[in-house]
Amino acid sequence: MAGSELVQVARRARRHARADYSGFRVGAALETADGTIITGCNIENASYGLTMCAERVAMFKAISEGHEKFRRIVVVADTAEPTPPCGPCRQILWEFAGDIEVIMANLRRETARLQMKDLLPLPFDGRLLK
């Protein structure tokens, strides 16, 4: 799927966001190695700390459906500046997807494109536990 199409899919996923407390709606579209697209949106809760980011929703959906290899993820928010994955999401994305491409976009255009290794330099991961 073309990058611009993947951005469109993430924009559509963003419409499902449950951002009742922050009002900050985020959509994600995760592309697996075989081209399957898994979407996510942020899901907030009255117990704020239970909030789950769009990127983690997409990744956990993908893992739970048996996907193991990933190509890239798109993150969409209504911000002029790029909205990058938060720290915990970077850790989760690194764990399960490694050095994938992360495309950031808003409702009109792409705002940034980075590799995970640049978003999470010097990562803590399973290699250190061996």
Which residues are near ligand THU by CB under 6 A?
A: 19, 22, 24, 26, 42, 44, 51, 53-55, 75, 83, 85-86, 89
Q: Which is nearer to ligand THU, 8 or 51 (CB)?
A: 51
Q: Annotated catalytic sites, by residue?
A: 55
Query: CA–CA separation, 4 vs 121, rounded Å?
Result: 27
Place of tokens 């048996």: 66
Closest distance of CB 23 from ligand THU, Å? 8
| Least distance in angstroms from the C-beta of 37 to ligand THU | 18
As given in the structure block, the two tokens for residue 1 are 């799927």
Question: What is the distance between the alpha carbons of residues 75 and 105, in angstroms, rounded to a whole number?
Answer: 6
For ligand THU, give the closer residue by CB, 86 or 129: 86
Other Cβ atoms less than 10 A from the Cβ of 94: the count is 19
Select from 79, 81, 88 the least CA-distant residue to 49. Answer: 88
Q: How far is the CB of 129 from ligand THU (least distance, A)?
A: 27
User: Of 35 and 49, which CB lies nearer to ligand THU in the complex structure?
Assistant: 49
